[in-house]
C-alpha cells in the first residue's frame, strides 16, 4: 500500500471521527464541546497534511516507473556493449579520479554502472554465519544463526551526490524499538546506497575475485580492510557501512565485511551478545582466509561496539597458536562494548599481533552508558570519571568532541566524522605514529596511568600548537 493511500485512509477516518464527536457532544457543556471538537478537528488537519505530503509522490509514481524502466534498458545496453567492446579496459582506466579503481572489475559486467550513471559501485567481500532468508528477488540473510561460514560478494552503489560521511538511504517511518517499517521511500541508486548485486561464492571463486581486486589496487596497493559490525545491525546495514568506509577512505584495495547474526533491533541486546560469542569459530576461519590466502600484503581490521568481543577472542587465539604466521597491519577498536577489565586482560595477550592497535573511546556514547549501567562496570569504549582505559601496546584516543549533539547516540563517531576518517585512512596507509603526527587535532594528554590523545576539533580564529607546527583553530574546553 502506498504512502498516499495510507494517508488518505487516515484522513477519511479522522473526518468520520470528527463528525462522530461533533454529534455526540451536542448536549454537553460548552467547554467539553470545544475541547472534544477541537481535538478531533486537529486530527483531521494532521491527516489532510499527510495527504498533501504524499500526493506529489503519488503523482510522480508513473513517471518514476518509466524512468526506472528506461534505466534498466540502459543498464542492459551497457552490459551488452561491455561484453562486445574490446577496448573496455582502456576506457575504464581513463576515467577521472579514484572512482575508476572501485568500479574497474571489467571482467565482471555486473560490477560496472552504466555510462553517465549517477552512482559508482563499491565491491564488498563478505563472510557470515547468518542463516539465509527465503526471498525470490535476491540473497537475503536473517538474524538467525546459520552455524557455518558462507562467503560472497555484494556490489553496493554509492551516489555521486554522496556527502561524506553519510549513508544515504530512503526515508522511512519505523516503530521505535521494533524492526517494523510503516512506510519507506523507494530506493534510487542516484540518491541512495543500494545493493546492485549480491551472491554466494565458493572459496575458490571468492579468492579469485579478491586477488583480481588487489591486483588493480593503486592508492592502497595490496591492502585489505576487514570490518566487524556491532550490536543492533542488520546484514544490509553492515554492507552499507563497509561500503561507506571504503568509499570515504578512497580505499581501492579489497574491502571485507564479517557479519555475525545480530538481531538488528534495540530489544535484541542479550541475543546479540550470545550470537557474537557463538560466531567466534567462523570469524576465525574468515580471518585465516583473508590474512593467509588472499595474497593481501597488509590487512587492517576495524571492529565496532559488540563486534570487538568476538574479534578480541579470535585475535588472542591467533596470537597463541601462530604468532609467527599472522601479519596484521592495524587493529582499530571503535567504541568496544567489552568489559573494561576483560579488555585489559585480553589486550595484553594480543600485544604484538599487529603493527599497531588503536582504541577510540567517548564519554558521551549513550549506547555504552546504557551498557555500563546494565553490566554495572565500565566498558572499554567508555570514558568513566577516572579517565579512559589505557593499556600497554594500545593507543587510546578520546573522541568525545567528535559530536556535541546532546541528542545524538554518539556510538559511531569513528565513521561519522571527517577528521576521524582521515585519521583512520592515514593510519591504515602509513601506520604513522604518534597520533598527533597524523592529525594535529589529536592532543597528547598525560594521566596517572599513561598518555592518551584527545580529539579537539578546530574552528577558525584560534591556534592549536603541536610539536611540529601551528594550526589555526580554536581549542574547545573539554572536561
Predicted TM-score (pTM) of this structure? 0.73
Contacts for 75-78: CB closer than 8 Å, 24+ residues apart: 75/114, 77/114, 78/112, 78/113, 78/114, 78/115
Which range has the worst mean pLDDT, 4-13, 81-90, 138-147?
81-90
Residue pair 375/360 in contact by the 8 Å Cβ criterion: no
**For residue 352, what pLDDT is reported?**
86
Q: Return the higher-pLDDT residue of 247 and 174.
A: 247
| Predicted local confidence at residue 20, as pLDDT | 66
242: enclosing H helix or E strand: helix 235-248
Selected residue with higher pLDDT from 347 and 93: 347
What pLDDT is stored for residue 412 in this prediction?
81
Give 107 or 251, the one with higher predicted confidence: 251
178 C-beta neighbours (distance < 10 Å), count: 10
Residue 132 near residue 95, CB atoms below 8 Å: no
Mean pLDDT of all residues in 59-88: 47
**What's the pLDDT score for residue 144?**
97
φ, ψ dihedrals at 110, nearest 5°: -65, -20
Instruction: Return the minimum-mean-pLDDT range out of 166-175, 217-226, 420-429, 458-467.
Output: 458-467
Over residues 215-226, the mean pLDDT reads 96
Lowest mean pLDDT among 44-53, 149-158, 336-345: 44-53
Q: How far apart are CA 196 and CA 198, in angstroms?
A: 7
Cα dist. 185→45, 182, 196, 239 in Å?
23, 11, 17, 19
The distance between the two most distant Cα atoms of the chain, rounded to a whole number of Å, is 88
Percent of the chain with pLDDT strictly greater than 70: 68
Amino acid at each position: 500500500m502506498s504512502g498516499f493511500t495510507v494517508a488518505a485512509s487516515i484522513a477519511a477516518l479522522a473526518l468520520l471521527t470528527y463528525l462522530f464527536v461533533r454529534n455526540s457532544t451536542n448536549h454537553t457543556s460548552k467547554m467539553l464541546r470545544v475541547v472534544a471538537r477541537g481535538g478531533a478537528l486537529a486530527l483531521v488537519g494532521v491527516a489532510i497534511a499527510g495527504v498533501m505530503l504524499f500526493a506529489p509522490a503519488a503523482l510522480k509514481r508513473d513517471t518514476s516507473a518509466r524512468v526506472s524502466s528506461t534505466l534498466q534498458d540502459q543498464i542492459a545496453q551497457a552490459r551488452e556493449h561491455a561484453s562486445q567492446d574490446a577496448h573496455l579496459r582502456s576506457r575504464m582506466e581513463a576515467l577521472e579520479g579514484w572512482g575508476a579503481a572501485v568500479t574497474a572489475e571489467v571482467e565482471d559486467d555486473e560490477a560496472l554502472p552504466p555510462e553517465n550513471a549517477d552512482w559508482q559501485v563499491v565491491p564488498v567481500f563478505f563472510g557470515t554465519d547468518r542463516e539465509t532468508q527465503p526471498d525470490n528477488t535476491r540473497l537475503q540473510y536473517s538474524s538467525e544463526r546459520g552455524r557455518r561460514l558462507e562467503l560472497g560478494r555484494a556490489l553496493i552503489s554509492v551516489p555521486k551526490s554522496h556527502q561524506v560521511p553519510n549513508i544515504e538511504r530512503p526515508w522511512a517511518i519505523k516503530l521505535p524499538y521494533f524492526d517494523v517499517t510503516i512506510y519507506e521511500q523507494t530506493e534510487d541508486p542516484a540518491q541512495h546506497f543500494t545493493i546492485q548485486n549480491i551472491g554466494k561464492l565458493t572459496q575458490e571463486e571468492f579468492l579469485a575475485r579478491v586477488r583480481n581486486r588487489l591486483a588493480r589496487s593503486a592508492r592502497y596497493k595490496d591492502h585489505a580492510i576487514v570490518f566487524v559490525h556491532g550490536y543492533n545491525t542488520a546484514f544490509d546495514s553492515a554492507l552499507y557501512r563497509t561500503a561507506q568506509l571504503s568509499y570515504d577512505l578512497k580505499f581501492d584495495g579489497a574491502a571485507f565485511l564479517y557479519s555475525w547474526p545480530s538481531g538488528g533491533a534495540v530489544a535484541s541486546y542479550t541475543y546479540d551478545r550470545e550470537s557474537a560469542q557463538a560466531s567466534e569459530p567462523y570469524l576465525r576461519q574468515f580471518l585465516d582466509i583473508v590474512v593467509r590466502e588472499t595474497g593481501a600484503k597488509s590487512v587492517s581490521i576495524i571492529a565496532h561496539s559488540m563486534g570487538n568481543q568476538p574479534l578480541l577472542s579470535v585475535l588472542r587465539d591467533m596470537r597463541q597458536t601462530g604468532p609467527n604466521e599472522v601479519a596484521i597491519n592495524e587493529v582499530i577498536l571503535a567504541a568496544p562494548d567489552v568489559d573494561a577489565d576483560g579488555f585489559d586482560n585480553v589486550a595484553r595477550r594480543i600485544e604484538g599481533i599487529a603493527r599497531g592497535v588503536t582504541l577510540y573511546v567517548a564519554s558521551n556514547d549513550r549506547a555504552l552508558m546504557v551498557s555500563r549501567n546494565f553490566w554495572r562496570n565500565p566498558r572499554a569504549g567508555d570514558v568513566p570519571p577516572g579517565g579512559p582505559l589505557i593499556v600497554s601496546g594500545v593507543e587510546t584516543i578520546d573522541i568525545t568532541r567528535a559530536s556535541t549533539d546532546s541528542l545524538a547516540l554518539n556510538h559511531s563517531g569513528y565513521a561519522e566524522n571527517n577528521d576521524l576518517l582521515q585519521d583512520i585512512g592515514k593510519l591504515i596507509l602509513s601506520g604513522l605514529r604518534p597520533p598527533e603526527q597524523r592529525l594535529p587535532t589529536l592532543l597528547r594528554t598525560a594521566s596517572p596511568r599513561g598518555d592518551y590523545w584527545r580529539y579537539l576539533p578546530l574552528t577558525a580564529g584560534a591556534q592549536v600548537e603541536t610539536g611540529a607546527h601551528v594550526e589555526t583553530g580554536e581549542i574547545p574546553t573539554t572536561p
